Amino acid sequence: MIRLLEKIIQTQLKFLLLVSATLIITAGCSPPPPARLNRLQWASMGTIAAVQSGDLDTAQQLRTLALDEFAAVERELSGWSESSTLAEVNRHAGGEGAVPISQSFSEIFKLSAKVTRESGGAFNPLIAPVLRIWGFNGATPPAATPSTEVLQRALALACIDDVELTASSNTNMIRLLRSGMQLDFGAVAKGYAVDLVWRSAREQGLTDALIDLGGNLRALGEARPGREGWLTGIRDPFHDSRLVAKVLLRDGEAVATSGNYERFVEINGERCAHIIDGRTAMPVKGMAAVTVVAQDGATADALSTALFVLSVEEGKKLIQEHYPESLALWIPDVQPLRIITTAPMEARLQR
């Protein structure tokens, strides 16, 4: 597992360095040579965290904020630490009493439950028991494809209506009603952590910076005066040193990508990606990557997973009905490379 984590971080670092090189590209025509951006990076939450700004003092202040916020999120939401609040909630599944949680925990659960219902269960924060059956989250991959019976038993524990949340201005409590249920915020926690840093930065008057946690980005202001935001690259899922396009993140916007190329297991010689369809308990096939630009990091993170699971048509409908301000791009798992976008994303892309 340690070797796998190191490989993931090395892959992410290689790509994030590539992306950082694209962020100095201007949005205008015939720009002057760009001044150097200050990028500070470190390991956090099992991935690479970074901040960027043309002003070194801003970058340093933002890094201090991010160190504190990311550590706080990990203490609460880590699926790997037995001392996290998440682990405490999962240990009490099926018990009589509810577990006290923070406002942040309550917020991230409510967003997750919202996307779960809007996506018809394609996105599901209770999918952890199914993930372990497939060999993820520290479990040993099975020698053969799990049986339908085994998968359905685990999927029965993934009903969002079996979670009781009591939330008010001064009290937040949560209870998982059935023994064996497990919450897992892996598909939304990094985007949410970026949002917390973004909020704190705004409160302190910081601007013109970019926050990055494992490729979950959110923009503050613009890279340089007149650039209207931050230009970021969208990775080619078939070549980790290439970009398929670039998209300009405007002030406050966030981007997240879900892909099948970093976490997977091999069963009977077949590669199974870690993104599981919350409706069927099966690994998603046919999609290589989905990128979403949204109004905040947690939404972008959750939607990129939901759209990876749904068909393109279903995903476009979800965006249109519930997130019309969001942009989406799909790359099917086929060759030659094919890109599908919503109309607003196509209008924003730079190829």
Q: pLDDT tens digit string along 51-68? A: 999 999 999 999 999 999
Q: pLDDT tens digit string along 165-208? A: 998 878 899 999 999 999 999 999 999 999 999 999 999 999 99
- As given in the structure block, the two tokens for residue 78 are 């880590």
We report the CATH number of the domain holding residue 106 as: 1.10.3980.10
Q: Packing angle between helix 189-203 and helix 103-118, nearest 10 degrees?
A: 130
Q: Is residue 196 a part of any domain in this protein?
A: no
Mean pLDDT of 234-258: 95
Q: Is residue 137 a part of any domain in this protein?
A: yes
Q: 145, 139 in Cβ contact below 8 A?
A: no
Spatial separation of the C-alpha atoms in residues 8 and 186, rounded to whole Å: 15
Spatial separation of the C-alpha atoms in residues 280 and 34, rounded to whole Å: 49
**Residue 26 pLDDT more than 60?**
no
DSSP alpha helix (H) spans, the chain: 2-22, 56-77, 85-91, 103-118, 128-133, 148-155, 189-203, 297-309, 312-322, 343-348
* Count of domains observed in the chain: 1
Q: Is residue 109 a part of any domain in this protein?
A: yes
pLDDT at position 35: 62
Q: Is residue 118 a part of any domain in this protein?
A: yes
- As given in the structure block, the two tokens for residue 166 are 């009591």
Proportion of the chain above pLDDT 90, given as a percent:
79
Structural domain including 172 reads 85-176
CA angle centred on 51, ends 245 and 110, rounded to 5°? 80
pLDDT at position 92: 96
Q: Is residue 162 a part of any domain in this protein?
A: yes
pLDDT at position 143: 86
Burial 201-231 (b: 16+ CB within 10 A, else e): beeeebebbbbbbbbbbbbbbbbbeebbbbb
DSSP alpha helix (H) spans, 180-279: 189-203
Spatial separation of the C-alpha atoms in residues 193 and 108, rounded to whole Å: 10
- pLDDT-derived band of residue 6, with 50, 70 and 90 as boundaries? very low
Proportion of the chain above pLDDT 70, given as a percent:
90
Q: Is residue 172 a part of any domain in this protein?
A: yes
pLDDT at position 45: 95
| Single pTM value for the model | 0.89
For residues 323 and 27, the model is more confident at: 323
Spatial separation of the C-alpha atoms in residues 135 and 267, rounded to whole Å: 10
Q: Is residue 189 a part of any domain in this protein?
A: no
The 3-state DSSP class for residue 296 equals: coil
